[in-house]
Chain A
Amino acid sequence: MTEVSLLTLFFTFFKIGLFTFGGGYAMLPFIQQEVMQNNWLEEATFVNFVGISESSPGPFAINIATFIGMEKGGWLGSALATLGVVLPSFIVILIVAQFYLKFKESRIVSGVMSGLKPAAVGLIAAAVITMVIEVLFPAGFSWNLFAGAQIYVSLAIFALGLWLLLKMKKHPIFIICVSAVLGIAAGYIFGL
């Protein structure tokens, strides 16, 4: 994994904070690309962390910035990454607050948003597909994987998670806890 300077951490998260619209989840594809293309973390570590973030208090963006900052630069790194992701919001809101009624009714703003909302959906869809491939085929695609138990365990947990979330309306924390317990049980039973 590559070393990352404190300054790079700060500016990467500043850029992500400045250019993502639509909340923390919209940052997921952007963070994923920065982290993967620059080889900051393993994909599995990144996905692990999305799980922890879903079951921790606070905004997703802050959780993930703090985590990546800590992994790459200790306490100072996590403080700088978090500051980086917060600062653009903070500055932009202070500016917009001066004329927010005009901003709300602006045609330019609604025009830009009519492009950004569908963009976020497309980008997240691509990020989800990348994550599904990484989780099901951690070492790259190979037919041999279908002979082992791991892929079926993962698919079963994925399907159960979807059912619990969408049909049973369970909380994400519940999904994470159930997945962890099933992972431990399946791991020992099948000796993965």
Chain B
Amino acid sequence: MKNKDRLLPLFLTFLKIGAFTFGGGYAMIPLIQKEVTENRKWLSDEDILNIVAIAESTPGPIAINSATFVGYMTCGVMGSVAATLGVVLPAFIFIALISLLLQNIMDIQAVQYAFMGIRAGVLALVVKALISMYKQCPKNPVAYVIAGLAFAVSLLTDISILYVIIGCAVLGLVTSMVMKKKEAEAK
């Protein structure tokens, strides 16, 4: 599509981004923006805004969505392969090694104590994540009802989360269509 010479730099840029961001997709966005628009000048700031908006409303991790999209806009399908591989590889290698190491050290008493502490600390991290998800969420009666339903169904029943997600998507679509129609009629 565009410049083939960009493939290797694209891979290395995303390798760097993947290796140095902790805390997932949202933490990567400022880095992606800096590398791709300021340092390399492959894309514009507006492109990045569009990419983030799309990455949020398509399935999958924000980091992977953004990498695939930036790669595609910079260098076509091969570019998206290079960027995605780059962003995945450091996490994959690091975690694979950690899991192998863990399998060998979990019997040590001190390690077990450390993880007892870590499990309690993780609760604080997931509560924080919940708060930030809540802040990004629309605040209206329909949204509260949907959140409440999803919460109750997943906590109280064994129904697969897959169906909860599909149900909430349909509910969101139907209520937004009905509200648009009412707005149109009011005019």
Separation of A25 and B26 alpha carbons in the complex (Å): 11
B186 interface residue per 8 A CB criterion: no
Q: What number of A-B contacts does a CB cutoff of 8 Å give? A: 392
- Per the CB 8 Å criterion, the residue count for chain B at the interface is 100
How far in angstroms is the closest Cβ of chain A from B104?
A: 13
Known: A17-B60, A57-B22, A88-B60. Is A115-B173 also a contact (CB below 8 A)? yes
Please tell me if B177 contacts chain A, counting CB pairs below 8 Å: yes
Given contact pairs A51-B122, A118-B168, A59 touches B161 in the complex (Cβ within 8 A): no
Any chain A CB within 8 A of the CB of B69? Answer: yes
Q: Considering only CB atoms, which chain A residue lies closest to B64 in the complex?
A: A89
- Chain A residues with CB under 8 Å of B144's CB are 118
Q: CA of A60 to CA of B146 in the docked complex: distance in angstroms?
A: 25
For A61, list chain B residues within 8 Å (CB). 24, 60-61, 63-64
- The yes or no answer to A8 lying at the interface (CB within 8 A) is no
Smallest CB separation, B105 vs chain A (Å): 12
**Interface pair B113/A192, CB less than 8 Å apart:** yes
Docked-complex contact A47 and B61, CB < 8 angstroms: no
How does the 8 Å CB contact mask read for B86-105 relative to A, with 1 for contact and 0 for none? 01101110111011101000
Q: Within 8 Å of chain A (Cβ to Cβ): is B3?
A: no
**Contact flag A57-B176 (CB < 8 Å), given A97-B73, A100-B50:** no
User: Is B12's CB within 8 Å of the partner chain A?
Assistant: no
Contact A86 B88 (CB under 8 A): yes
Q: How many Å lie between the Cα of A192 and that of B130 in the bound state? A: 31
Nearest CB in chain A: distance from B145 CB, A: 8
Inter-chain CA distance A175–B122, complex, in Å, is 8
- Chain A interface mostly helix, strand, loop or mixed? helix
The reply to whether B22 and A171 form a contact with Cβ atoms under 8 Å apart is yes
A148 to B131, CA, bound (A): 31
B54 touches A162 (CB 8 A): no
Instruction: Name the CB-closest residue of B to A164.
Output: B124
Contact of A20 among B23, B59, B115, B155 (CB under 8 A): B59
Contact A115 B146 (CB under 8 A): yes
Q: Assess whether B91 is in contact with A63, with CB atoms less than 8 Å apart.
A: yes
A116–B100 Cα gap in the complex (Å)? 36
Report the bound CA distance from A118 to B175 in whole Å.
Answer: 13
Q: How many Å lie between the Cα of A164 and that of B162 in the bound state?
A: 35
Q: Is there an interface contact between A179 and B117, defined as CB atoms closer than 8 Å?
A: yes
A67 → B minimal CB distance (Å): 5
- Minimum CB–CB distance from B23 to chain A (whole Å) comes to 6
Q: What is the distance, in angstroms, from A130's C-beta to the closest C-beta of chain B?
A: 7
A127 touching B126 in the complex, CB below 8 Å, given contacts A61-B64, A88-B60, A118-B143: yes
Asked if A50 contacts B122 (CB within 8 A), the reply is: yes
How far is B54's CA from A30's CA once the two chains are assembled, in angstroms?
22
**Extra 12 A-B pairs, beta carbons < 8 Å, given A82-B88, A92-B65:** A19-B166, A62-B91, A93-B55, A94-B77, A107-B177, A116-B165, A116-B169, A119-B146, A123-B151, A124-B126, A154-B120, A179-B121
A–B Cβ pairs within 8 angstroms, 23 of them: A19-B166, A23-B56, A33-B160, A47-B122, A56-B94, A79-B92, A82-B88, A85-B60, A85-B61, A89-B60, A90-B80, A90-B84, A112-B172, A116-B172, A117-B138, A119-B169, A120-B150, A121-B133, A124-B130, A161-B125, A162-B124, A179-B120, A187-B112
| Top 8 A-B residue pairs of the complex, sorted by shortest distance between their CB atoms | A115-B172, A183-B117, A58-B91, A179-B121, A161-B124, A89-B60, A187-B113, A122-B150
